[in-house]
């Protein structure tokens, strides 16, 4: 299941190669200031369309809006469109939005620069199937956190890259679609992990095929590593280290958690294990072969869900977003992109 946390022994962390970032570091904070107000505005704009559920007009309008914003910030945008199949056989008109930030610098040499994949999903859960009120279990989710927040952070980063063109990495943003059509809790059938992250699965397989088809003289432009953002604006969120991330990309986990310490947000990124989550980063790792981590919250003491009290409920709205959380994640990523 895409969003069920599996409790794991602490020993798994060392087995997967995860390490605690040191509280003492000689690194200095670099890069521009991440604007939480701007990120919040991007989240609000998405929610203004209403729930961005698959096959809806709100979804299609949001696709155009996201693509236009990335173009506004100097990105080259491509739309990967496909009809995917939901768990119940529903044809889903999906669009993955791929936006590559144009680089205007001459140095360092492009071949010496890391190429970073930043990704998040933007579609809304069609059913608030974890809401405490059963009357809402077939109500679409506004998805301010579980959807809009990751896109909001990426758009603000694209804006900063456009204004402050001194990052030490090339960046491609991928907005995944059809992530949240997984089997609902009320469905009379077993959950299948493959019913989640449909857009990411499609993108990852297409990327692997394109890379395999590239000739030796013209290799595919691949990624150094990837970072997935999922639910990065919740009140009280803390981003523990996710187990697939530690398994596939422990060096990236270490880099991000160390960056959080450098910019003063280490308390948001505790060096402890959160769980093992089937999310968009899994096909990126397994199908595309790109070492990719998941920045996703873990609420160990929340009875409603280990993903927080608003997960898959009608309370996942703008009133429950926290600009401080968005700032913590956004400034950490600025450090990753602008630091050595």
What value, to the nearest 5°, has the Cα angle with vertex 51 and ends 132 and 302? 30
d(CA 336, CA 143): 27
d(CA 301, CA 299): 6
In the block, residue with structure tokens 């974890």? 130
**Contact by Cβ (8 Å): 316, 297:** no
Write out the H or E segment, with its range, that includes residue 212: helix 198-213
**Contact by Cβ (8 Å): 305, 299:** yes
pLDDT tens-digit profile, the chain (340 residues)? 455 555 444 333 333 334 444 444 578 999 999 999 999 999 999 999 999 999 999 999 999 999 999 999 999 999 999 999 999 999 999 999 999 997 665 545 556 789 999 999 999 999 999 999 999 999 999 999 999 999 999 999 999 999 987 888 999 999 999 999 999 999 988 887 899 999 999 999 999 999 877 645 445 558 999 999 999 999 999 999 999 999 999 999 999 999 999 999 999 999 999 989 999 999 999 999 999 999 999 999 999 999 999 999 999 999 999 999 999 999 999 999 999 7
Sequence-distant (≥ 6) Cβ neighbours of residue 68 within 8 angstroms = none
SS (H, E, C) 277-315: CCCCHHHHHHCCCCCEEEECCCCCCCCCCCCCCCCCCCC
d(CA 204, CA 198): 10
Tokens of residue 191, six digits:
């959950």
Hey, which residues does 116 pair with through a beta bridge? 171, 225
In the block, residue with structure tokens 């630091």? 339
Helix axes 36-47, 323-338, angle to 10 degrees: 120
**Contact by Cβ (8 Å): 197, 280:** yes
Selection from 35, 62, 60 nearest residue 48 by Cα = 62
HSE-up of 325 (CA within 13 Å, CB side)? 21
Question: What pTM was computed for the model?
Answer: 0.92
**Contact by Cβ (8 Å): 36, 321:** no
- Looking at the structure, give the CATH architecture of the domain made up of residues 11-338: 3-Layer(aba) Sandwich (3.40)
Selection from 145, 149, 125 nearest residue 136 by Cα = 125
d(CA 159, CA 72): 8
């Amino acid at each position: 299941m895409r969003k069920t946390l599996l409790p794991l022994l602490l020993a798994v962390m060392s087995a997967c190669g995860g390490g605690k970032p040191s509280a003492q570091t000689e690194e200095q904070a670099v890069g521009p200031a991440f604007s939480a107000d701007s990120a919040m505005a991007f989240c609000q704009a998405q929610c203004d369309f209403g729930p961005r559920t698959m096959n809806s007009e709100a979804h299609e309008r949001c696709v155009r809006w996201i693509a236009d914003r990335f173009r506004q910030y100097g990105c080259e945008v491509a739309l990967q469109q496909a009809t995917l199949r939901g768990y119940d056989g529903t044809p889903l008109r999906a669009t993955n939005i791929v936006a590559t930030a144009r680089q205007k610098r001459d140095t360092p040499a492009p071949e010496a620069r890391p190429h970073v994949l930043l990704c998040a999903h933007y579609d809304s859960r069609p059913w608030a199937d974890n809401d405490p009120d059963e009357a809402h279990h077939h109500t679409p989710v506004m998805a301010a956190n579980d959807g809009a927040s990751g896109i909001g952070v990426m758009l603000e980063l694209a804006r900063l890259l456009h204004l402050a063109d001194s990052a030490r990495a090339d960046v491609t943003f991928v907005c995944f679609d059809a992530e949240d059509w997984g089997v609902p809790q009320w469905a009379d059938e077993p959950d299948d992990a493959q019913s989640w992250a449909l857009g990411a699965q499609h993108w990852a397989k297409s990327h692997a095929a394109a890379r395999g088809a590239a000739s030796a003289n013209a290799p595919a432009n691949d990624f150094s590593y990837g970072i997935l953002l999922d639910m990065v604006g919740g009140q009280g969120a803390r981003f523990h280290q996710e187990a697939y991330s530690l398994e596939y990309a422990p060096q990236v986990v270490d880099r991000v958690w160390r960056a959080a310490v450098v910019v003063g947000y280490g308390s948001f990124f505790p060096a402890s294990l959160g769980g093992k989550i089937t999310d968009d980063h899994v096909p990126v790792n397994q199908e595309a072969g790109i070492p990719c981590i998941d920045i996703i919250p873990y609420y160990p003491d929340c009875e409603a869900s280990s993903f927080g009290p608003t997960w898959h409920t009608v309370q996942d709205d703008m009133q429950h977003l926290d600009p401080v959380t968005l700032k913590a994640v956004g400034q950490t990523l600025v450090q990753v992109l602008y630091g050595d």
